Structure 1
Amino acid sequence: MPALDSPRLPTSPGFWRSPLRGPWFTSVLGLVLLVGVTVLFVTGLLSYAAYNPDLSPVNDKTPDKGILGFYLFAWPTRPYWLYRLTQGVHVTLGITLVPVLLAKLWSVVPRLFALPPARSLAHALERISLLLLVGGVLFEFVTGVLNIQLDYVFPGSFYPLHFYGAWVFVSAFVVHVALRAPMAVRTVRRRRSEGESGTSGGPSGAPGGPGASGASDASGAPSVLPAPDVLVSPAPDPPTVSRRGALWLVGGGSLLLFATSAGRGFDGPLRETALLAPHGGPDPGSGPNGFQINKTAAYAGITPAVTGEDAWRLVLTGRTGTVRLSRARLLGLPLRSSALPIACVEGWSTSDQWWRGVPLRDLAALVGHDDDPPDLLVESLQQHGAFRRAALRANQVADPRSLLALYVNGEDLSPDHGYPARVIVPAAPGVLNTKWVARMTFGDL
């Protein structure tokens, strides 16, 4: 059986031969992720708040949050593009950071196998946080990418998995940052002040040089870094690329992913640049209804038999009772137009579309809510898919741009866009803009 210090075992520093690994390379990647992951976490929380999960159980896909729901608030309707921006940043940034994440994990692999497992209480805490950090970040990125690419492939709901996974990851992330961020900043500043080139060979990459976290720096003064550093191989292979070259390669991969993903947040030619993203490529069809959708009428089980003029009625319930309206009667009410986008949790969105229909607050008035419109429960005809029922807050109902839309871009809604009627609300996630509306209940939910 080989000894523990055999280079054939990953527990030996000699097992890891790449000359690229080292404190500077890892620190640069770590600082990029520090900023990027913080933005991802904040925009992720905003996404959950946008769903208004404490408004009604029908919106809440993550029950029993307890104190983890401390950040929830009434999601605003201004600016009307708010969710389009926050969720677009969340998903596009997450995809863009994938090469940085993989490079960072590759750079710290030796630490996962370092012996002894714990040299002190602080070191043990760091090792535990590192394991939770690696497991958590892989889980979050993998589930997020799968949800974007394959659309709800998980056993159970994506929302609780991603939500609780995010809190486990962020807890480990905070501990790890508290322990390692000061060292990372000092490492990067030290290399900059010394004018290091960041190459793998010579004094910046060879063991014992400043880039290897030796016992002293170039002037002979004691190093601010621990020695020896487990990331630096005692017998590195010959370099084939500089550390800065490797960073350029990682950055190029991120730029490529950004360029082939970001376009799905727009209509027209820009969407066609989103080659690797769902809802990228050409818009589905042409004409007034030729813009992106998430689920088709066929998928939702919608047929002409339930949406025809003789069959379909909108049922309104409120303070004064119940009212049933045909589409013809809705068209006889005062109509209003609003220019609003559709923005999805998967990160894609459309540009502004011109919707025309009856303001939600006018429908509330028809059933006795003439003063301040209350919260609203909307139910759809759809037979398949999530969010067959969705709740809207009173501030969303009261906004004059919130409509029960009957037309889009001057034409009747198509079946895929929600004919005979759909909800459209400024700044709301797409799934709350219910299509194929059948019933609306105003009042306490």
Structure 2
Amino acid sequence: MKDTTTDGSSRRFDLPLPPPPDALRIGPLREGTFRSRLHEPRTAVVLGRWLGAAIVLCFLTGLLSHGLQEPPGWLRALLTSRPVDGYRVTQGLHVIAGTAAIPLLGAKLWTVYPRLFEWPPARSVLHLLERAAIAVLVAATLLELFTGLLNTLQWYPWPFPFRQTHFWLGWTITGALLLHVAAKAATITEHWWRPRLPLPGRRAFLGTVAASVTAVTLTTAGQTVPWLRGLDLLAPRRPDLGPQGLPVNRTAAQAGTTTVPADWHLTVDGPTPLRLSLSDLRALPQHSARLPISCVEGWSASADWTGVRLRDLLDLARVPADARLRIVSLETSGPYAVTTMEPVYARDPLTLLALAVNGQVLDADHGHPARVIAPNRPGVLQTKWVSRIEVLG
């Protein structure tokens, strides 16, 4: 590979580097240190296929989740409230694939880690750059999976914001992965198909890895997949446990909303502003819908919600059909105390200002006196303790 300088001369980036002295070849750098025959390209390629599929699925569903939570201007017109369980499926797949990637990454790193001690460490500038890209890929993937796993537990022992870091790590991993695949294209192509001479122990090793991934998936996916709920042994959340049969991420005590003002009312901005008490809301036509709560941590649960259709409230206030909304909560702090809602959700007949769930008045932890529930939306945007609905235009 050549690069032309400003004076017209050329320089090569693949110039060989001077070899390090043999005296440094100690410990794991010695030849023959790693004796397992499974530290070989075919095993690495098979595991790479599985891990790559999990990473790609994680990346794509993660992009969708990020876009739904903070849609850029160009995406707003493409948002849809159907299918009702759309976010439940995609975010469930995101967490399932991320969890499955953990044992896959461990097996992949075990297979290739002797390459960390290859000799010489860098044969040329290009080889050095290739190894640097691999270091970035491994470090970013380990951090992404580690923080993602702790996010499912709602434990954040680090000083940086999780969601933004998770988002940019995903892009870093994707870019480094593409560079790695390009650098190893010849090796991947050579070992992609089944080898003519099977290596003893390879099939057993790959079978063990596959069994481990299957076990981890079956014992965690029940927090999203209802028919796997009986196997939900290792998942951080059971979707059927909590007030009124639903889990709670942020309680009323955490939000500072345990005591609702006696004169609570809902304000709806518009050409004909509304100021409605809880009794006023209950006097309006009530509708019911079975909708899921689907959280970014990967759990989801369906419930029967009852309340006033949001579009009916907007019509009473004469809010334009294409208006975006700002939903304001009683909680005074937190990243989702104020959320926005696109018209496609606000005007959906299933979107409710819910006053009850599963036949009972909303528990304080579920947003009493009123909360938003809409189809195909992240749970963090299903605002609880609603006090005001404003028109953004």
TM-score range, shorter chain: 0.7 to 0.9
Structure 2 match to 1:238: none
Separation in 2 of the partners of 1:255 and 1:169?
Answer: 24
Q: How do 1:359-370 and structure 2 match up within 5 A?
A: 359-369=309-319
- The percent identity for this pair of structures is 40
Q: How far off is 1:73 after superposition?
A: 6.3
Contact conserved, 1:83 with 1:429, CA < 8 A, in 2?
yes
Q: Is the 8 A contact 2:80 2:344 kept in 1?
A: yes
Aligned to 1:277: 235
Which residue in 1 is equivalent to 2:7?
A: none
For structure 2, which runs of at least 5 residues remain unmatched after alignment?
A: 1-20
1:10 and 2:28 aligned: yes
Cross-structure match for 2:10: none
1:45 matched to 2:63? The reply is yes
SS in 2 for 1:306: coil
User: C-alpha separation between the residues in 2 aligned to 1:116 and 1:277?
Assistant: 44
Q: 2:76, 2:342 within 8 Å by CA — same for their partners in 1?
A: no
Within 5 Å, which residues of 2 pair with 1:114-153?
A: 114-120=118-124, 122-153=126-157
Is 2:265 aligned against 1:313?
yes
What is aligned with 1:251? 210
Partner of 2:4: none
Within 2, Cα distance between the matches of 1:156 and 1:439? Answer: 31
Change (3 A) 1:181 1:328: farther
Aligned pair 1:329/2:333, yes or no?
Answer: no
Contact 2:238 2:247 (8 Å CA) reproduced: no
Unaligned runs of 5+ in 1: 56-69, 200-241
Cα deviation 1:201-227 (Å, max 9, x = unaligned): xxxxxxxxxxxxxxxxxxxxxxxxxxx
Change in Cα spacing, 1:5 to 1:272, as seen in structure 2 (3 Å) is: farther
Identify which of 103, 108, 111 aligns with 1:107. Answer: 111
Are the structure 2 counterparts of residues 433 and 190 from structure 1 closer, same or farther at C-alpha, using a change threshold of 3 Å? closer
Q: Deviations over 1:139-182 (max 9, x none)?
A: 11111111112433331321111111111111101111122245
Match of 1:202?
none
* RMSD value, Cα: 2.4
Please tell me whether the aligned partners of residues 338 and 354 of structure 1 are also in contact (alpha carbons under 8 angstroms): yes
Counterparts of residues 378-393 of structure 1 (less than 5 Å):
378-383=327-332, 385-393=334-342
2:384 alignment partner in structure 1: 435
The superposition leaves residues 5-26 of structure 1 with CA deviations (integer Å, 9 ceiling, x where unpaired) of: 7774333342323232111111
Structure 2 residue aligned with 1:403? 352
Instruction: Report if aligned partners of 2:305, 2:358 keep a CA contact under 8 Å in 1.
Output: yes
* Residue pair 1:342, 1:430 contacting (<8 A) in 2 also: yes
Indicate yes or no: 2:303 matched with 1:353.
yes
CA gap of 1:91–1:72, structure 2 versus 1, over 3 A, is: farther
Flag the 1:372–1:72 CA change in 2: closer, same or farther, 3 A: closer
Q: How many angstroms apart in 1 are the aligned matches of 2:53 and 2:180?
A: 14
2:103 counterpart letter in structure 1:
P
How far the C-alpha of 1:412 sits from its partner, in A, is: 1.3
Residues 278-310 of structure 1, C-alpha deviations (whole Å, 9 max, x = no match): 21386236xxx212222222222222x325xx3
Which 4+ runs in 1 deviate beyond 6 A?
A: 70-73
- Deviation of residue 115 (structure 1)? 3.3
Judged with a 3 Å threshold, the aligned counterparts in structure 2 of structure 1 residues 71 and 24 are, in CA distance, closer, same or farther, namely farther
Give 2:224's aligned residue.
265
Provide the residue aligned with 1:297 in structure 2.
Answer: 252
Q: Distance in 2 between matches of 1:430 and 1:377?
A: 16
- Matched to 1:271, the amino acid is R
Whether the 8 Å contact between 1:364 and 1:373 is mirrored in structure 2 is no
Give the Cα–Cα distance (whole angstroms) in 2 for the partners of residues 132 and 430 of structure 1. Answer: 33
Measured in 2, the distance between the counterparts of 1:400 and 1:45 equals 27
Structure 1 pair 277/385, CA: closer, same or farther in 2 (3 Å)? farther
Distance 2:326 2:336 in 1: 11
- Residue number among 362, 370, 374 corresponding to 1:421 in the alignment: 370
Deviations 1:58-110 (A, max 9, x none): xxxxxxxxxxxx87864311001010000000001110121110111121112
For the 8 Å contact 2:324–2:343, the answer to whether it is kept is yes
Q: Under a length normalisation based on structure 1, what TM-score does the superposition of the two structures give? A: 0.78
- CA displacement 1:253-286 (0-9 Å, x = unmatched): 211211111011156x84353222221386236x
> Partners of 1:5 and 1:404 in 2: how far apart?
73
Shift of 1:250: 1.4
Q: What does residue range 235-246 of structure 1 map to in structure 2 within 5 Å?
A: 242-246=201-205
How many residues were matched structurally?
374
SS at match of 1:246: helix
The separation in 1 between residues aligned to 2:119 and 2:208, in whole angstroms, is 31
Instruction: Say if 1:153 and 1:375 are closer, same or farther in 2 by CA, change over 3 A.
Output: farther
Change (3 A) 1:266 1:292: farther
Q: 1:190 to 1:373 in 2, by over 3 A?
A: closer
State the alpha-carbon separation in 2 of the partners of residues 302 and 266 from structure 1.
32
Length-normalised TM-score, structure 2: 0.88
CA distance in structure 2 between the aligned counterparts of 1:163 and 1:74, rounded to whole angstroms: 21
